[in-house]
Amino acid sequence: MKHLIVIAASIFTIVSGTLDAQTPVQIQPADMVQLQGAWKGSLTYLDYQSGKPYTMPANTNISAIAKQNHLLVEMIYPNETNANSKDTLFINAARTIIDEGSIVSRKVLSNGDVEIITIRKGQDGNDNKKALIKKTFTIGKHQFINKKDVQFEGTSVWVNRHVYSYTR
């Protein structure tokens, strides 16, 4: 039995060391350049009160700002102009974190678009429940999708919170 524990501990150490030695997943400068420009599309979000999805027109303009690795995001809602806003998409210097979400995956899809997935701890819902928040960014020459899913603490189910879907 003692021999099995030593073997298991050795395997754990080797696997842990291998995981630590892996190159961190990063957003690439070309991904950030591809995001820039004017996009037209829609926002579909889950209305937590009714439990039903709601879709509305939504556009965005994304541009580089003087601060390295940061993008200015202007949100435009044609039918609800009072909701228009500007925000900054923060990307850390190592390009491994987008708006507090650690990049866990970056892959090039079969159509050439790039899919980047981030995960972070946070709160969501009308009652601000603790949750894991997963964002999936799909970036292409002609499409940009920003999808948010949440997994509330104590559950194993991912709930789609919203999807911004744009084209140009």
- Tally of CA atoms within 13 A in the half-sphere of 48 that contains its CB: 10
Instruction: Give mean pLDDT, residues 131-143.
Output: 97
Give tens-digit pLDDT for 121-136: 999 877 889 999 999 9
The C-alpha angle 28, 147, 104, rounded to 5 degrees, equals 45
Instruction: Give the pair of three-digit tokens for residue 106.
Output: 């970056």
* Contact assessment for residue 43 and residue 162, using Cβ atoms and an 8 Å cutoff: yes
Average pLDDT, the chain: 87
Distances (CA, A) of 92 to 68, 71, 113, 115: 9, 11, 22, 18
Q: Is the pLDDT of residue 137 over 60?
A: yes
Identity of the residue numbered 115:
E
Separation CA 148–CA 161 (nearest Å) = 5
Give tens-digit pLDDT for 84-119: 999 999 999 999 999 999 999 999 999 999 999 999
Among the residue ranges 30-34, 44-48, 133-137, 138-142, the one predicted with the least confidence is 44-48
Categorize the per-residue pLDDT at 120 as very low, low, confident or very high, splitting at 50, 70 and 90. Answer: very high
Instruction: Give the pair of three-digit tokens for residue 124.
Output: 């969501």
CATH class of 26-167: mainly beta
Sequence ranges of the domains in the chain: 26-167
* Contact assessment for residue 27 and residue 116, using Cβ atoms and an 8 Å cutoff: yes
Separation CA 85–CA 80 (nearest Å) = 11
Check: pTM over 0.85? Answer yes or no.
no
